[in-house]
């Protein structure tokens, strides 16, 4: 599939990415999220059902597999 960013000649390819979501005051990190990523500009597309699944995981408050340190820049 061709990249949706204007002027970008890239193609989306299927990859597993690290996706971070702000959930209230917390940052939630998901690993191995299936996404379409442009091979030129790295624009990332998540399928609506993928986003729904991430929301479900957060709402269920499933135990995360691991904890990541979060640093504030300032």
User: Measured between alpha carbons, how far is 20 from 40 in angstroms, rounded to an integer?
Assistant: 21
Among 1, 2, 5, 16, binds Zn ion (CB under 5 A): 5
Site string for Zn ion, 11-50 (x = CB under 5 A): ---------------------------x-xx-x-------
**Nearer CB in complex with Zn ion: 43/57:** 43
Dihedral angle sign, alpha carbons of residues 31, 44, 27, 74? positive
Question: Which whole-number Å values give the CA distances from 72 to 27, 47, 48, 50, in the listed order?
Answer: 11, 29, 30, 28
- Judged by the rule CB under 5 A, the positions of this chain that interact with Zn ion are 3, 5, 8, 10, 38, 40-41, 43
């Amino acid at each position: 599939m061709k990249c949706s960013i204007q002027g970008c000649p890239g193609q989306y390819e299927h990859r597993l990415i690290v996706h971070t979501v702000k959930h209230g005051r917390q940052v939630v990190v998901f690993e191995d999220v299936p996404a379409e990523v442009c091979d030129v500009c790295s624009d990332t597309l998540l399928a609506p059902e993928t986003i729904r699944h991430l929301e479900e995981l957060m709402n269920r408050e499933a135990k995360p597999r691991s904890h990541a340190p979060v640093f504030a820049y300032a």
